[in-house]
Chain A
Amino acid sequence: GESVGLHLPTLSVQEGDNSIINCAYSNSASDYFIWYKQESGKGPQFIIDIRSNMDKRQGQRVTVLLNKTVKHLSLQIAATQPGDSAVYFCAEGRTSGSARQLTFGSGTQLTVLP
């Protein structure tokens, strides 16, 4: 049968406002988390990562918060700009020996309104 496309959660924000994109992860053994941004026709672009021994990490205009108690991850984008419009993916990883495998969420479509 025909496959059904993923229904991406969507988030629309006014230009200049702050954006918060949320992600729930499933594996309590995950020790590494990462956010990617994917624009149309391009591959995912690394934004920021965080290890499980931290609960907050800041980058340029972005902050990632990790709540291991409820297995929740969020990405905050300050002063959202039109160029931030994209699909945002969170991924969780578990380090096994020297290898790490990432499992990606389904993504959130962020639209920045003028």
Chain B
Amino acid sequence: KAGVTQTPRYLIKTRGQQVTLSCSPISGHRSVSWYQQTPGQGLQFLFEYFSETQRNKGNFPGRFSGRQFSNSRSEMNVSTLELGDSALYLCASSLHSNQPQHFGDGTRLSIL
């Protein structure tokens, strides 16, 4: 069974731009969560989607948003990029919220 797939793997943007990251969960998994990983803050929860509905949200500004499609694929969007948004963005999927989350290899976003 294929794992969680995130695209693109690497992305370079400049301040003020916006970016969309994509995540395809493991087949059959309906819960998708997004995390930001930085050397300074570690792994921080962004939000969780289940059946196209956001069920949980972390402590991030409104510039960070996401959505989930009917096939469980998810996208996250960051608008008005700041230097501090440079990070590894990780997506994790699980069968249900109370099952272990399985991570993709992330999208490395660099802001110049």
Using CB atoms and an 8 Å cutoff, list the residues of chain A in contact with chain B: 3-6, 32, 34, 36, 41-46, 49, 89, 91, 95, 98-107
Contacts and interface: CB of A to CB of B under 8 A. Distances in A.
A99 B50 contact: yes
A33 B105 CA distance: 22
Contacts of B84: 3
B97 A43 contact: no
A5 B42 CA distance: 9
B40 A43 contact: no
Interface residues of B, number: 29
Nearest to B33: A102
B61 interface: no
Interface in B62-89: 84
6 contacts: A3-B84, A34-B101, A46-B100, A46-B102, A95-B97, A104-B35
B45 A49 contact: no
A100 B92 CA distance: 13
A99 B101 contact: no
A106 B43 CA distance: 8
Contacts of B4: 43
A42 B105 contact: yes
A101 B102 contact: no
A43 B90 contact: yes
A3 B45 contact: no
Contacts of A6: 39-42
A100 to B, nearest CB: 5
Contacts of A98: 50, 55, 96-98
Could you say which of B84, B98, B104 has the most chain A C-beta atoms within 10 Å of its C-beta? B98
B104 A43 contact: yes
A95 B56 CA distance: 11
B39 A3 contact: yes
Contacts of A45: 103
A3 B84 CA distance: 9
Interface string B31-53: 00101001111111100101000
Nearest to A44: B103
